[in-house]
Chain A
Amino acid sequence: MISLKNVSKLYNEGRPNEVCAAQDIDLELARNKVTVLTGPSGSGKTTLLSMIGCLTRPTTGRVFVDGAMVSGLPEKFQTELRRTKFGFVFQRFNLIRGVSVIENVMLPAAPLGPEYHELRERAQSRLERLGLGAKADMPIEFLSGGETQRAAIARALINDAPVLIADEPTANLDTVLTERFLEIVGELQSEGKTVVMTSHDPRIWQSSHVNTVVRMQDGRIIGVDA
């Protein structure tokens, strides 16, 4: 479904503080699988995830989604692709403060201009599924850590994107909540979604819900365990 061919990413290209965050990466991500990118911090897993999710373009190399080359697309169409193909859960969840839970969940769909009530119902159903139905109208800052993460997952699901991308989703969660997160990932997979996440948490890559573990170091892939 997603493939990367000979992809590298340089930051601060051409300046003295040039950093090579990813180097010569070839990777194939299968549909309807759960993949975890792992490695020590600074190993390039977040950069790789950004390139998979079209948040940033590779310096060299190509990214294909469903066979179409996306790495050269103008920004506008990368955005469109992000909106339709990917749902994102960030490490710090990145919900917008001062806005209610349900409005946060609705945000990714807003630029498409859907009918308001229809969108609101869609957001409500996502929240209910994740057990947050009763808290829809609360300001986001009133939620606990686990609830915030579930709100972020609800937001990632609002556009029915086939791929869920998560960056260190369990870094701020205790064991019980991590278990709950993995259950949700399992459910999503059974619905046909593809999940890609980064994690250096052994509870994640040892979990039975995970199909593939990609191990990284110094911007290179050093092993893939299927």
Chain B
Amino acid sequence: MSTVSIAHLRKTYGQFVAVDDLSLDIPSGCVFGLLGPNGSGKTTTFKCALGLARRDAGDIRYDNVSLVPQTFERIAYVPEKSVLFEGITVAEHMELTRRSFARFDVKRCAELLAGFGIDPRKRVRVLSKGMKTATAVALAFARTPDIMILDEPTSGLDPINQRVVLNLIVEASANGTTVVFSSHQIGQVERAAERIAIIDRGTLILEGAVDDLKARRKIVEGVVDEHFSVDGFAGDARVAYVEHNGRIIRLHAISNADDLAAELSARGAIGVRVLDLGLEDIFFQSVSTAASRPEA
């Protein structure tokens, strides 16, 4: 059982701020999805969390203890891009991992590889992008770690193997492993993650339990006349932002959606209804709101 704690993380590359004052608390046994557009700082966050990139500020703790080499016995990391050695075979990668980690289960790894349809005798060079991802995933899961950090773990995989990876994540979590993963496939995150964080331009813009976020965030939609003014809603703290296309108005509510619906009806809107949001909508809502912020 592990808790990953990231506090006030900041990482810059020259003038570019990759991550800025990012704080996350990931409870033990949780599947935690980290979402964000390309270049939002997800991979940098992972690298800083693993000490692969030096942070400018902030603190990273695993079970309240700073990262030390021995911690890696308990952490498995699958990077976004393949880091496997092209010139050696999958079996040699298994041996390399076995020699590095005491808890590596060769039999389990062989089973996982077989499940993905990968021949361990093959050199990594001849594997497709998806197969390389699957190999990295198999090597990571066979270590039976306490914490898994997976950066795009389904990248390049076909839908069937994507499902296999998601099942592995859920199964690992059920066995007490803390899984932090990023994915551009929001549907996958919605399926597997209990909690999510959305970051954009290196800053945390939303964090919480998926169910809570979905319960709080709604769209209040109605039909209004051409002269309807959105002014009253645009600055409302309960509204993330307002979409107004012709006669359709959509209020992206972050709280009290029912009250907003009543107010919208009172101001003459017809056909007012409250719509549930999927995680994808929440993501777009959050990122759109963040994009409207001025650059730091």
A binds B: no
